[in-house]
Amino acid sequence: MKAILVNDDKSLRWDNVPDPVLKSEEVLVEIHAAALNRADLMQREGDYPPPPGCPEWMGLEIAGVITEMGEEARAKSRWKPGDRVCALLGGGGYAQYAAVKYDMLMPVPKNCTMEEAAAIPEAFATAYLNLFWEGRLQPGNTLLMNAGASGLASVIIPMAKAFDARVITTVLTDEIAASIAHLHADRVVVTPKESIVDALKEELADGHGVDVAIDCLGGEIMGQCLPYLTHGARWIMIAALAGRMTQIDLKNIYVRNVRIIGSTLRSRTPAVKAQILAELVEKVFPKIESGAVKPTIYKVLPITEAEAAHEILYKGQNVGKVVLKVK
């Protein structure tokens, strides 16, 4: 089969690799589409190696069709050859086939294309993990989701809204604010024109203080925001794209019972990931199939144009997910 490999100069090529060797608990998925994540860029640069036992090529989420099944997968799962599935991987999605443990699979939602389904596993599992496991989001809570034009925000904002939360997000321009209007955030802060710190002060004074924040930016502004959360708020760090250093008034943290939580999906055990996916199918898939939540696709490119697809992410041009079409 073929997969996208990284050359010594960090460029990409579509080349031959060994076919997957199927284990008893795995199914073989013929990949139709694979979605991009920022972790792919980090892996390409050598900063985010795949877990032991995973293929060296990138790709954390795919959609396709089951073609073969191991003996244990047949005995212990409801899957069968021909099923349309999407899957969460430790790596190896930029390819024609992937061997996937049966409990890392989910059905393709009834109203989704393969390209849309490929954009579900990593992004939706990350959103669910941080909103409900780490953030303990409740109806009526206020959520702050930074970087409103990011692929993850395109999932987190409508998912939080579907569960009756109020959402504040940030963007860099009025044009970007207009482009994410379909996500229905309650307040969009255009940060060059309005300070997010001032916005959070105002929200707190108006009785809409932030209960849960999901932060992929970090940097100096994080520490400035922390004093303006509700008592007992959860600030969840999932990345630090704006910088790894900040200053925090620790008294504000312990007096107001604020929790700062570090969180990544990739570091979770397979058993925990399987539990997250099972809850996702039970609690969120009905909202996907009703249209209340749906993957936002920015662009679909053929797998042979993975270099161009990565360039979109490197430049931050996308509002929503970039997907590679394999078949």
Q: 142 lies in a domain?
A: yes
Same domain assignment for residues 156 and 100 = no
Confidence of residue 52 (pLDDT cuts 50, 70, 90): confident
Give the pLDDT confidence of 62-90 residue by residue, as tens digits: 999 999 999 999 999 999 999 999 999 99
Q: How confident is the model at residue 318 (pLDDT cuts 50, 70, 90)?
A: confident
Please check whether residue 273 lies inside any domain of the structure: no
Judge whether residue 267 has pLDDT over 90.
no
Asked if residue 64 belongs to a domain, the reply is: yes
pTM greater than 0.75 (yes/no): yes
Domain range for residue 114? Answer: 2-120+295-325
Task: Tell me: do 84 and 158 sit in the same domain.
Answer: no
Which CATH number is 73's domain given?
Answer: 3.90.180.10
Question: Are 94 and 211 in the same domain?
Answer: no
**116 and 128 belong to one structural domain:** no
Assess whether 213 and 236 both reside in one domain.
Answer: yes
Instruction: Clarify whether residues 134 and 148 are in a common domain.
Output: yes
Q: Whole-number mean pLDDT of the chain?
A: 95
Domain assignment present for residue 272? The answer is: no
Report if residue 274 sits inside a domain: no
| 248 falls within a domain | yes
Residues 20, 90, single domain; the answer is yes
Same domain, 235 and 149: yes
Question: Which of 239, 262, 285 is the last residue before a domain boundary?
Answer: 262
- Is 184 a residue whose pLDDT tops 90? yes
Q: Which amino acid is at 91?
A: G
User: Has residue 327 got a pLDDT over 90?
Assistant: yes
* 113, 146: one domain: no
Whether residue 18 is found in the same domain as residue 31: yes
Does residue 287 lie in a domain region? no
What token pair was written down for 44?
């390409």
- Asked if 130 and 58 sit in the same domain, the reply is no
Classify residue 172: in a domain, yes or no.
yes
- pLDDT on residue 151: 81
User: Helices 121-128 & 153-162, crossing angle to 10 degrees?
Assistant: 50
Residues 114 and 65 in one domain: yes
Number of domains forming the structure of the chain? 2
**Per residue in 188-221, pLDDT tens?**
999 999 999 999 999 999 999 999 999 999 999 9
